[in-house]
């Protein structure tokens, strides 16, 4: 009896104590309550009176958003004036999208429903979408926007250089710079702010307009600051202006992605190679699901990407991605771009125009001029200038800008190679059904490739004229070619010759000329001259070899792909 | 001034008397000061009337019951109250469930605390019901005339596990999704046998069982609403009904089990025990006190018994408050888990069932049918049959009572431990038939796997005990102990030592990818 009395007494007291503690912790010690009490004490007395310590939130059912961030970031709550400069009361910087209409997490990520800093910022276990780091903030735009027709980094740089060179910044403001020279009004800005020219549009006759204004002005800034822009620089400026959509840094990052040939292996939005993982939503991946074995530093998606760019195989064992030798600023830019690949599934009414045009109307996210297309799809393997590439542990990639190649490769041959690839080798098929390139784009690519080297010399002969002795060709092949191209033409150090697409599209002249003259700057030396290791081949012998090569073709026409 | 009308005076008198009359109607037989009024206090109260008027001192010793039954009931009550509070905010839909738990966690006042209490109460209830069962077994409480109540207790165990398992899915996070997927696959395990026999196309018992549980072939909206219905209505109602039967049977079977010579073992009531007996034995027995059995109090006088009010009520209140304290204390110390939103495309690796099924999952890893259906069925049938096979009386009402006693239980525990650790270590280190002989027929592995070998080893030990002591009780004591130890060890292996792909790891920190 005594035992039970004591047990009852002490467990009841203990329960009361715990419940009391829970009530106190809930009602007085909650983090956001402390923040709000402290903020209220800093407000002017008149405002403090109406300032209640209460849960504040942005609720947008159509976006599935219930963001309680504003319970601590009080100045950003809808309808709140805030106290500029205050830690908790600072208002949101002016942005295109009103936080009250889009919520906080739509752009920033993190856990909007949470009410403690660690949980809300999402750097806790079991929350797949932590906040975007401040330095990669423009990656947030990728949640909805796709940013159409981004040119390659070189084109963008050309436009930016022209913009600086012609001193546009003296009147115009762009991405937070410029517009300070002419204090025409109180703001010190005379020309329009061009930071979002790509989204808002600009007058097509801007150059003529500027000239007219200059000629009509008696004196002053118009006369002294504008001197006309040559035609091709105007085009570069237009390209640059089109890329100014209010997301500086992101456009540059995307341009870099489309200059390094990343899409040669990785698809984004259904366009690109299949050798690497699809990157369409890579910025949304759960850091908790990554392998962290080879990653130094903090466990964020950003540092995972950075480490992966530095040494892919260390982070992902068995990765085929070569070490690209990127500089740290490049790694930073590419990380920003990958983080921007989010594409959340929002309701259609929230899709911006650029996303609708990209996803529904098939417009390209990259510019479709030859240089950008080459940078986007080809540069990683064939080199920035078509000089070919050699990555450790891989067969060398052909130098398609080689003048010896361009002189004998017909447009049809190049187009067919791009379209159908090299089955069995690293070169994928880029036709619309496989890699996603349209016929017009392939034609643009061929034209661009053409511009890298000498003109094609047409051949009056038919495509197949070699009538040599295949048996002798076989013997010659075994002694002279098999070492690099493989005993059965399967390829090795040299390209695969028993390739159905190559044999289907290459003319006999292409094969014979390559054997005769070789490719300068590669291991393929011409056979018209002897080397210390072997003798030269006579034209008839070359014909024999070509005839033999044709025997690699699938015999049955039905079997041809 | 005229005198008030008689009706108004009566009204005034009645108004003044109202508090007294309310008290009288609450305590109809007057204040519980004598044995008689105490007894009627208990009988006259709907919540207390399942109690006896007097209770034996044997049943009140804390070391005998350890309060496990009352504590299990208490945790159920705690879970019931907190569960109703959670239902205010919870939304049983795959699109809303997770967010509603997040809201509970972050913005509902004390919501996180209440959810923690619910979670801890549920876990403590599972622990409590298992320990209560062990207590009833080791004190021989299943023996006649309490056979039926033992079986009812087994049903209550099953319902408790069902309640806990159905509640597991409701947060709709990764933990829930994949634990229930594993659970549903265990339900599907008869397919292993029907596949091996090649009759799945005609008789797919496993698939049917799984589909009945999930309402689909994967865990989804249908499964969630089913689990919700079971969790908040069907199973609690079934549990309450069976609880009433359970308690009523305790009364009808003559109170808690105690040895025939309980009075002699206890000796006289200690000095100062109050009240032992406050009235001459003039009482008339109400019908409820006429109970069957050798230990009926009728005609034997109230020796060794004390009034249930206040002795039993005090003991029960103490156990109740102790359980509540445990629940709230654990809830302050540790949050209920909530992982990422359920994602059918990203399997948890390892995906683990709730902890009380991890012993089964360990066996399932060796053979789905034997681990999921075969061995559990053998164990349940064995447990259900024990009261009808053990018709002995030696040691009834004593801890580890029976031939061999505590020494036999200790030996069995050591044997059970060695057997389960040995077989598991062997299987982990050397693999099993499939690793040595990849083309082995599935039926062979279903019949011979670590689970069945372990069961056979335990059965052999039990048979040896029966022969040695010439007693079914001895065999039962040994077998129960072995299975209890086996359950414990397999659960620990499943909880702690199994990592991705159900491989063995000494510490979770050694899991690959971390």
Residue B345 has pLDDT above 90, yes or no: no
Tokens of B177: 């999704």
B66 to chain A: closest CA residue: A4
Within 8 A of B106 by CB-CB distance, chain A residues are 68, 113-116, 119
Exposure letters B167-183 (e unless 16+ CB within 10 A, then b)? bbbbbbbbbbbbbbbbb
pLDDT at A511: 92
SS3 (DSSP) at A534:
strand
Residue of A376 and B301 predicted with greater confidence: A376
Per residue in A522-545, pLDDT (tens digit) is 888 889 888 888 888 888 999 999
**Nearest residue, CB atoms, A15 vs list B173, B315, B324:** B324
Distance CA A254, CA A260 (A): 10
- Interface A–B counts its CB contacts (< 8 A) at 84
Q: How far is A335 from chain B (nearest CA, A)?
A: 22
Instruction: Tell me which of 3.40.50.11900, 3.90.550.10, 3.40.640.10, 1.10.760.10 is the CATH number of domain A464-561.
Output: 1.10.760.10
* CB-based contact, A14 to chain B, within 8 Å: yes
**Which tops the pLDDT comparison, A177 or B239?**
B239
Nearest chain B Cα distance for residue A344, angstroms = 15
Count of CB atoms situated within 10 Å of the CB of A202: 14
ipTM field: 0.85
Please report the pLDDT score of residue B300 as a whole number.
Answer: 44
Question: Which of helix, strand or coil describes residue A295?
Answer: coil
Q: Tell me whether A18 touches chain B (CB under 8 Å).
A: yes
In chain B, residues with a C-beta closer than 8 Å to the C-beta of A288 are 340
Q: How far is B478 from chain A (nearest CA, A)?
A: 34
Cβ of A32 under 8 Å from any chain B Cβ? no
Q: Is the per-residue pLDDT at A79 higher than 90?
A: no
Q: Summarize the confidence of residues B493-510 as an average pLDDT.
A: 90
Give yes or no for residue B277 having a pLDDT over 60. Answer: no
From chain B, the residues in CB contact with A4 under 8 A are: 62, 314-315, 317-318
Pick the residue of A126, A288, A294 with the most B CBs within 10 A to test the interface with B by mutation.
A126
Largest CA distance in chain A: 117
**Count of alpha carbons within 13 angstroms of residue A372, beta-carbon side:** 21
pLDDT, one tens digit per residue, over B97-113 is 999 999 999 999 889 99
pLDDT-based confidence at residue A118 (cuts at 50, 70, 90): very high
pLDDT tens per residue across span B413-426? 999 999 999 999 99
Question: Once rounded to an integer, what is the mean pLDDT over residues A484-506?
Answer: 88
Q: How confident is the model over A434-459, as pLDDT tens digits?
A: 888 999 999 999 999 999 888 888 88
Put simply, the answer to whether B328 touches A15 (Cβ < 8 Å) is: yes
Look at residue B287 and tell me whether its pLDDT is greater than 80.
no
Of B62, B315, B328, the CB nearest to A19: B328
The minimum CA-CA distance between A528 and chain B, rounded to whole Å, is: 57
- Report the residue from A1, A12, A55 with minimal CB separation from B314: A1
In this prediction, residues B491-514 reach a mean pLDDT of 86
Residue in B with minimal Cα distance to A124: B339
Rounded CA-CA distance B40/B52 in Å is 10
What mean pLDDT comes out for the span A334-345? 89
Record: contact B329-A115, CB cut-off 8 A: no
What would the two tokens of residue B64 be? 């005998």
For helices B472-492 and B375-389, give the axis angle rounded to 10 degrees. Answer: 150
Per-residue pLDDT for B149 more than 80?
Answer: yes
- Residue B204: phi, psi to the nearest 5? -110, 70
Residue B50 CA to residue B42 CA, distance in Å, equals 8
pLDDT of residue B301: 45
State the pLDDT at residue B303: 61
Q: What is the pLDDT of residue A561?
A: 43
CB within 8 Å: A113 and B317: no
Question: In terms of residues, how long is chain B?
Answer: 514
The confidence band for A559, taking pLDDT boundaries of 50, 70 and 90, is very low
Helices and strands counted in chain A (H then E): 26, 4
**From the CB of residue B2, how many other CB atoms can be counted at a distance below 10 Å?**
4
The correct answer on CATH 1.20.810.10 for the domain covering B65-259+306-348 is yes
Residue B296 scores a pLDDT above 70: no
Is the model's pLDDT at A105 over the cut of 80? yes
pLDDT (tens digit, 9 = 90+) per residue, A363-399? 888 888 999 999 999 999 999 888 888 888 888 888 8
**Any B CB within 8 A of A285 CB:** no
Give, in order, the Cα–Cα distances in Å from A413 to each of A503, A511, B5. Answer: 10, 12, 122
Quickly list DSSP for B42-73.
Answer: HHT-TTTTTS-SEEEHHHH-HHHHTTHHHHHH
More confident residue, A183 or B197: B197
d(CA A277, CA A293): 19
Q: Which residue has the tokens 């030592």?
A: B497
Segment A507-535 mean pLDDT: 87
| CA–CA gap between residue B482 and residue B454 (Å, rounded) | 10
What pLDDT shows up at residue A181?
Answer: 53
Say if the Cβ atoms of B273 and A1 lie within 8 Å. Answer: yes
Instruction: Decide if A66 and B103 are in contact by the 8 Å CB cutoff.
Output: yes
B279: exposed, middle or buried (Cβ count in 10 Å: 0-12, 13-18, 19+):
middle
Q: Which residues pair with A66 in a beta bridge?
A: A59
Candidates A4, A68, A113; nearest CB to B318: A4
Least confident window among A39-43, A265-269, B260-264: B260-264
Q: State the number of CA atoms in the 13 A half-sphere of B281 facing the CB.
A: 10
% pLDDT > 70, chain B: 93
Q: Does A15 touch chain B (CB under 8 A)?
A: yes
Please answer yes or no on whether B103 and A113 come within 8 Å at the CB atom: yes
| Per-residue burial over A406-433, b = 16 or more CB atoms within 10 Å of its CB, e = otherwise | bebbbeebbbbbbbbbbeebebbbbbee
Higher pLDDT, A385 or B129: B129
Q: Looking at chain B, which residues constitute the CATH 1.20.810.10 domain(s)?
A: 65-259+306-348
Say if residue B281's pLDDT is above 80. no
- Predicted local confidence at residue B324, as pLDDT: 96
Q: How many CA atoms lie within 13 A of B23 on its CB side?
A: 7
CB-nearest to B346 from A3, A127, A289 is A289
Domain A250-359 sits in CATH 1.10.760.10: yes
Residue A314: exposure state from Cβ atoms within 10 A (0-12, 13-18, ≥19):
middle
Tell if the CB–CB gap between A1 and B274 is shorter than 8 Å.
Answer: yes
Residues of chain B positioned with their CB less than 8 A from the CB of A111: 102
Q: Is the peptide bond before B494 cis (omega within 30 degrees of 0)?
A: no
| B173 DSSP β-pair partners | B341
pLDDT the model gives residue B513: 62
Mean pLDDT for the stretch of residues B326-351:
90
Q: List pLDDT tens digits, range A202-236.
A: 888 999 998 898 888 877 777 777 888 898 899 99
Considering only the beta carbons, identify the residue of B315, B321, B514 that sits closest to A15.
B321
Question: What's residue A491's pLDDT?
Answer: 85
Q: How far is A342 from chain B (nearest CA, A)?
A: 17
Length of chain A, please?
561
**Which chain A residue has its CA at the smallest distance from B109's CA?**
A26
Q: Kindly report the nearest CA distance between residue B255 and chain A, in angstroms.
A: 19
Q: Would you say the CATH fold of A464-561 matches that of A250-359?
A: yes
Residue B78 CA to its chain's centroid (Å): 15
Q: Which of A11, A18, A115 sits opposite B106 (nearest CB)?
A: A115
What is the model's pLDDT at position A150?
87
Q: Could you tell me which chain B residue has the CA closest to the CA of A6? A: B318
Task: Give the residue on A whose Cα is nearest the Cα of B116.
Answer: A22
A294, closest residue in chain B (CA to CA)? B513
Please give the pLDDT value at position B292.
47
Identify the band that residue A188 occupies on the pLDDT scale cut at 50, 70 and 90. very low
Q: DSSP letters of A140-195?
A: GGGGT-----B--HHHHHHHHHHHHHTTGGGT-EETTEE--S---SSSS--SPP-T
pLDDT at B74: 96
CB B497 within 8 A of CB B505: yes
Provide mean pLDDT across the span B125-154.
94
Q: Residue A28: which pLDDT band, with cuts at 50, 70 and 90?
A: confident
Mean pLDDT comparison of A34-38, A240-244, B79-83, highest-scoring range = B79-83
**Cβ distance B158 to B324 under 8 Å?**
no
- Per CB distance under 8 Å, which residues of B are interface residues toward A? 62, 99, 102-103, 106-107, 109-110, 113, 173-174, 273-274, 311, 314-315, 317-319, 321-322, 324-325, 328-329, 332, 338-341, 346, 512-514
Closest Cβ–Cβ partner in B107, B318, B346 for A55: B107
Domain regions of chain A by residue span:
31-131, 153-242, 250-359, 464-561
User: Residue A352's pLDDT is what?
Assistant: 87
- Does the pTM surpass 0.95? The reply is no
Q: What is the pLDDT of residues B16-62, one digit of tens each?
A: 999 999 988 877 777 777 777 777 888 778 888 888 888 888 888 88
Whole-angstrom CA distances from B334 to B116, B119, B233 are: 8, 10, 28
């Amino acid at each position: 009896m005594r035992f039970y009395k004591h047990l009852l007494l002490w467990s009841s007291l203990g329960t009361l104590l715990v419940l009391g503690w829970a009530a106190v912790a809930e009602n007085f010690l909650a983090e956001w309550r402390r923040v709000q009490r402290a903020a209220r004490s800093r407000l002017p007395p008149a405002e403090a009176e109406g300032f209640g310590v209460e849960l504040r939130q942005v609720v947008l059912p159509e976006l599935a958003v219930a963001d309680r961030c504003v319970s601590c970031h009080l100045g950003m709550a809808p309808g709140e004036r805030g106290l500029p400069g205050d830690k908790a009361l600072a208002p949101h910087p002016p942005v295109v999208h009103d936080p009250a209409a889009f919520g906080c997490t739509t752009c920033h990520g993190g856990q909007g429903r949470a009410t403690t800093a660690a949980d809300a910022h999402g750097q806790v276990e079991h929350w797949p979408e932590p906040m975007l780091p401040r330095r990669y903030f423009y990656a947030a735009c990728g949640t909805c926007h796709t940013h159409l027709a981004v040119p390659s980094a070189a084109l963008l740089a050309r436009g930016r250089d022209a913009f600086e060179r012609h001193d546009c910044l003296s009147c115009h403001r762009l991405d937070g710079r410029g517009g300070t020279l002419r204090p025409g009004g109180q703001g010190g800005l005379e020309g329009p702010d061009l930071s979002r020219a790509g989204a808002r549009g600009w007058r097509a006759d801007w150059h003529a307009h500027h000239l007219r204004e200059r000629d009509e002005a008696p004196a002053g800034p118009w006369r002294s600051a504008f001197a006309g822009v040559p035609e091709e620089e105007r085009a570069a400026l237009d390209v640059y202006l089109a890329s100014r959509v209010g997301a500086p840094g992101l456009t540059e990052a995307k341009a870099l992605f489309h200059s390094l040939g990343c899409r040669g292996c990785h698809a984004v939005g259904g366009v690109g190679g299949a050798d690497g993982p699809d990157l369409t939503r890579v910025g949304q991946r759960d850091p908790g699901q990554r392998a962290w074995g080879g990653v130094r530093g903090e466990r964020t998606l950003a540092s995972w990407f950075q480490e992966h760019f530095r040494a892919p195989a260390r982070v992902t064992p068995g990765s085929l991605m070569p070490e690209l030798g990127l500089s740290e600023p490049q790694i930073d830019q590419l990380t920003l771009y990958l983080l921007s690949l989010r594409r959340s599934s929002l309701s259609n009414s929230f899709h911006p125009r650029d996303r609708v045009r990209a996803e529904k109307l098939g417009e390209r996210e990259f510019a479709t001029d030859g240089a950008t297309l080459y940078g986007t799809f080809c540069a990683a393997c064939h080199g920035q200038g078509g000089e070919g590439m050699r990555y450790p542990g891989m067969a060398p990639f052909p130098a398609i800008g080689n003048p010896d190649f361009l002189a004998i490769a017909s447009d049809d041959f190049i187009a067919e190679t791009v379209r159908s690839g090299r089955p069995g080798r690293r070169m994928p098929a880029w036709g619309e059904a496989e890699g996603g390139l349209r016929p017009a784009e392939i034609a643009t690519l061929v034209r661009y490739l053409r511009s890298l080297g000498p003109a094609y010399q047409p051949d009056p002969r038919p495509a197949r004229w070699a009538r040599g002795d295949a048996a002798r060709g076989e013997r010659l092949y075994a002694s002279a070619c098999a070492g690099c191209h493989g005993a059965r033409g399967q390829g090795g150090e040299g390209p695969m010759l028993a390739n159905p697409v190559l044999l289907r599209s290459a003319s006999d002249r292409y094969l014979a000329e390559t054997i005769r003259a070789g490719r300068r700057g590669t291991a393929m030396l011409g056979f018209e001259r002897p080397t210390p290791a072997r003798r030269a081949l006579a034209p008839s012998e070359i014909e024999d070899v070509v005839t033999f090569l044709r025997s690699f073709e699938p015999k049955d026409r039905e079997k041809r792909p | 001034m005229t005198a008030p009308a008689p009706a108004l005076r009566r009204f005034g008198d009645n108004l003044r008397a109202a508090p007294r009359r309310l008290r009288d109607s609450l305590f109809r037989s007057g204040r519980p000061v004598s044995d008689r009024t105490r007894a009627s206090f208990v009988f006259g109260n709907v919540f207390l009337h399942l109690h006896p008027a007097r209770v034996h001192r044997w049943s009140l010793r804390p070391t005998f019951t350890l309060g496990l039954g009352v504590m299990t009931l208490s945790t159920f009550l705690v879970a019931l109250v907190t569960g109703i509070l959670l239902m205010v905010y919870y939304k049983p839909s795959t699109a809303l469930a997770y967010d509603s738990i997040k809201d509970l966690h972050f913005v509902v006042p004390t919501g996180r605390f209440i959810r923690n209490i619910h979670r801890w109460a549920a876990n403590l209830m599972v622990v409590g019901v298992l320990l209560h069962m062990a207590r009833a077994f080791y004190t021989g409480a299943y023996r006649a005339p309490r056979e039926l109540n033992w079986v009812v207790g087994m049903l209550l165990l099953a319902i408790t596990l069902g309640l806990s398992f159905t509640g597991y899915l409701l947060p709709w996070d990764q933990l829930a999704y994949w634990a229930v997927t594993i659970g549903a696959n265990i339900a599907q395990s008869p397919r292993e046998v029907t596949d091996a026999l090649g009759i799945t196309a005609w008789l797919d018992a496993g698939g049917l069982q799984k589909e009945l549980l999930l309402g689909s072939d994967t865990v989804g909206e249908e499964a969630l609403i089913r689990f919700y219905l079971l969790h908040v209505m069907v199973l609690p109602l079934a549990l309450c009904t069976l609880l009433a039967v359970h308690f009523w049977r305790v009364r009808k079977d003559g109170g808690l089990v105690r040895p025939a010579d309980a009075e002699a073992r206890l000796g006289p009531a200690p000095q100062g025990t109050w009240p032992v007996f406050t009235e001459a034995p003039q009482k008339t027995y109400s019908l409820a006190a006429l109970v069957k059995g050798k230990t009926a109090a009728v005609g034997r006088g109230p020796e060794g018994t004390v009034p249930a009010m206040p002795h039993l009520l005090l003991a029960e209140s103490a156990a109740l408050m102790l359980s509540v304290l445990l629940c709230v204390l654990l809830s302050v110390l540790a949050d209920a888990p909530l992982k990422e939103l359920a994602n059918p495309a990203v399997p948890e690796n390892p995906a683990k069932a709730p902890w009380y099924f991890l012993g089964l999952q360990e066996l399932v890893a060796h053979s789905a049918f034997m681990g999921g259906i075969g061995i559990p069925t053998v164990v349940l049938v064995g447990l259900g049959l024990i009261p009808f096979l053990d018709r002995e009386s030696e040691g009834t009402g004593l801890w580890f009572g029976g031939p061999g006693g505590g020494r036999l239980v200790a030996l069995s525990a050591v044997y059970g431990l060695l057997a389960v650790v040995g077989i598991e270590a062997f299987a982990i280190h050397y693999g099993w038939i499939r690793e040595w002989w990849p083309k082995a027929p599935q039926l062979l592995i279903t019949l011979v796997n670590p689970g069945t070998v372990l069961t056979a080893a335990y059965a052999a030990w039990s048979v040896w005990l029966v022969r040695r002591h010439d007693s079914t009780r001895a065999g039962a004591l040994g077998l129960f102990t072995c299975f209890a130890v086996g359950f414990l060890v397999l659960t620990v292996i499943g909880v702690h030592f199994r990592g991705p792909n159900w491989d063995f790891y000494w510490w979770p920190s050694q899991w690959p990818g971390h």
